[in-house]
A and B are shown apart, each in its own frame.
Chain A
Amino acid sequence: MTDVLAVAEHRRGDLRDVSYELVTAGRQLANETGGDLHLAVISGTVEDFAEKLNRDGVDTIHTVTDGEEFNHGVYTQTVAQLADSLDPQYVLIPNSVNGLDYAPAVATGLERPLVTDTIDLETDGETLTATREMYGGKVETTTELEGPAVVTTRGGEWPKAEGTGDAAIESFEPEIDEAALGATVTGFEEVGSGDVDISDAEVLVSVGRGIDEEENLEIIHDLADALDATVSSSRPIVDNGWLPKNRQVGQSGKVVTPDVYIAIGISGAVQHVAGMKGSETIVAINTDPNAPIMDIADYAITDDLFDVVPSLTEAFR
């Protein structure tokens, strides 16, 4: 039991970046256990996916033709059967919305412990040391567990694997119990379009929960007017119905790459940062000097937004 099995992710015909990151994480773990790296790619155009995933360090790619898109029942059953036949030490799954929709079920089925949303992994073959964040990124922790495990990895933490590999590509035919598939995907829908496309904006004035009340948004709109900028926000502002969905920056919102991103009263949770880390210049205005947003900010003001923002607006009047 030294091998590593990593499960690729794709959606609507495209492999997602995290699949290549898993190759890197998986290879590193397999080096530490002295085993092979197996990939599984399930549903859709698997031959094509396998070709793309055949990067440096992959030993075997198992293709499974059942289904077109992600179905958690098919994934759970397939990964469990693959794991039964390969007996890997670690099963790696992306910590994506879909990963979290089946990884726990895989762990239950295999009776293995589960550690999710890891940002670093290390093993001596027996003990796995996983680094995770807690309290919205305010602290990092190391956790240890013994023996085989199911692990999900956070996107963007490992570099994407490069280079062409010479993996064996093998077709795997799981026995799918159709009667146990009680969830059916009936379609997809794009949301969040509207009058403004924040992903085109050059300057974004972005507001978070620090603004406290809907009425207070006025000072944000005033600043955006003065700067000739566009208003965007973190998720809670949209959840509260204070701004429409097309203004949400982040993992489940829009990815933005403005010249200047001014994050006002935004803590910088990982799902938010996923949408704005590509901004050229990031300015944070936050009372908390330890807020995670400070880690990616180029400029920061640690002060009350209700004092700073009106002052800033004034400077442009």
Chain B
Amino acid sequence: MKILVPVTEVATVDDEFEIEGTAIAEQYLGADLNEWDEYAIEEAVQLQEAGVADEVITVTIGPEECEQTIRQALAKGADRAVRIWDDALEGIDLLGVEAKAALLSAVVEDEDPDLVLTGVQAGDGAFGATGVSLASTVGYEWAAVVNHLEHDLEDGVASVRRELEGGVEELTDVELPAVLTIQTGINEPRYASLRGIRQAQRKELEVLGLADLGVDESAIGAAISLTDMYEPESESDATVWEGSAEETAGQLAELLREKGVAQ
């Protein structure tokens, strides 16, 4: 069987930063493979190692710069990658959930995977909706926030656990083909080996534009526009202790004694 893993490169922000217009100024931003996607890739690669999957393909929406992030996924064991980009995507500051689903669904229709594993959410935008949106667009079944997947996938059914709030897990059987959104903690993501990194350089990375995917530009039109970005007004009335670590630790120690801790 075939597994498709949509991955995304997320922007990381320095402790100190400035906002320019509706974005964080470039010099304070870094880039990384989305934390949740790392677990999705690991799950797919483990399914391959277990002999359940024949092929693991990653797909990303992003400009050329994010190829180093895609190579990370390839280095961890994905077989090949697809990158979706188009000039039409260039100026969009917030790509809506519907637009992402439209683009990814074109790849799902091309590749016809049995299983799609996405991260629960992207660490930057945190919409947490792409996976289920994709599933409903292509007519796959789905399960959101999966923290355990039985690897036998017997009779075309994935037995999963969904992690609900408050330490309760739901056990669910999902018919394939399906999209599962993967929660952190489902496995232990591996580090890419040196050999893996070398191999990744030679793996196929296909770039597809809107025309290749047969997606109309209107499908990616911005339904949602970002109109403002600001640092949240601090509601903090915290007492911030100043001084050396010894001094601040001393003040905290005094507070704890006042509160009756460790007496």
Contact = CB atoms under 8 A, between A and B. Distances in A.
Interface of A: 11, 72, 76, 95-98, 100-105, 107-109, 113-117, 129, 132-145, 182-192, 203, 226-229, 235-236, 238-241, 245, 251-255, 259-260, 281, 283-284, 287-292, 294-304, 307-309, 311-312, 314-316
Given A113-B98, A235-B184, A294 B125 contact: no
A289 B17 CA distance: 12
Residue of B136, B165, B223 with most partner-chain A CB within 10 A:
B165
Contacts of A72: 142
A124 B168 CA distance: 39
Given A188-B169, A235-B184, A260-B261, A227 B225 contact: no
Given A189-B171, A295-B235, A255 B166 contact: yes
B216 to A, nearest CB: 14
Contacts of A236: 184
B238 interface: yes
Contacts of A95: 128
Contact of B249 (A115, A142, A315): A315
Interface string B151-181: 0000000010111111111111111001000
Given A145-B224, A191-B168, 10 more contacts: A182-B175, A183-B143, A183-B172, A185-B172, A238-B185, A252-B166, A294-B234, A301-B252, A304-B245, A316-B253
B261 A203 contact: yes
A226 B97 contact: no
B227 A183 contact: no
10 contacts: A97-B165, A107-B129, A108-B136, A182-B174, A182-B178, A229-B261, A254-B167, A288-B15, A291-B15, A294-B236
B123 interface: yes
A134 B129 contact: no
- Which of the four size classes fits the interface of chain B? 35 or more
Contact of A100 (B15, B129, B245): B129
Given A241-B188, A290-B15, A301-B252, A139 B132 contact: no
B162 A97 contact: yes
A104 B165 CA distance: 19
A117 B127 contact: yes
B13 A299 contact: no
B136 A105 contact: yes
A195 B245 CA distance: 34
A183 B178 CA distance: 10
Contacts of A145: 223-225
B11 interface: yes
Contacts of B240: 289, 299-302
**Which 8 interchain pairs have the tightest Cβ spacing?**
A307-B245, A113-B223, A311-B249, A315-B253, A239-B185, A182-B175, A105-B136, A104-B133
Residue of A142, A190, A281 with most partner-chain B CB within 10 A:
A142
Given A294-B234, A308-B249, A134 B98 contact: no
B262 interface: yes
B226 interface: yes
Contact of A140 (B11, B142, B232): B232
B135 A105 contact: yes
A137 B126 CA distance: 10
Residue of A109, A183, A229 with most partner-chain B CB within 10 A:
A183
B197 interface: no
Nearest to B147: A252
B51 interface: no
B262 A226 contact: yes
B16 A227 contact: no
A144 B184 contact: no
B191 interface: no
Given A228-B262, A294-B236, A299 B136 contact: no
A142 B174 CA distance: 36
A298 B235 CA distance: 11
A302 B159 CA distance: 45
B124 A144 contact: no
A66 B96 CA distance: 32
Contacts of B262: 226-229, 316
A289 B240 CA distance: 9
Interface in B131-152: 131-133, 135-137, 141-145
Given A141-B22, A203-B261, A315-B253, A104 B171 contact: no
Nearest to B230: A140
B136 A101 contact: no
Contacts of A245: 167
A304 B229 CA distance: 29
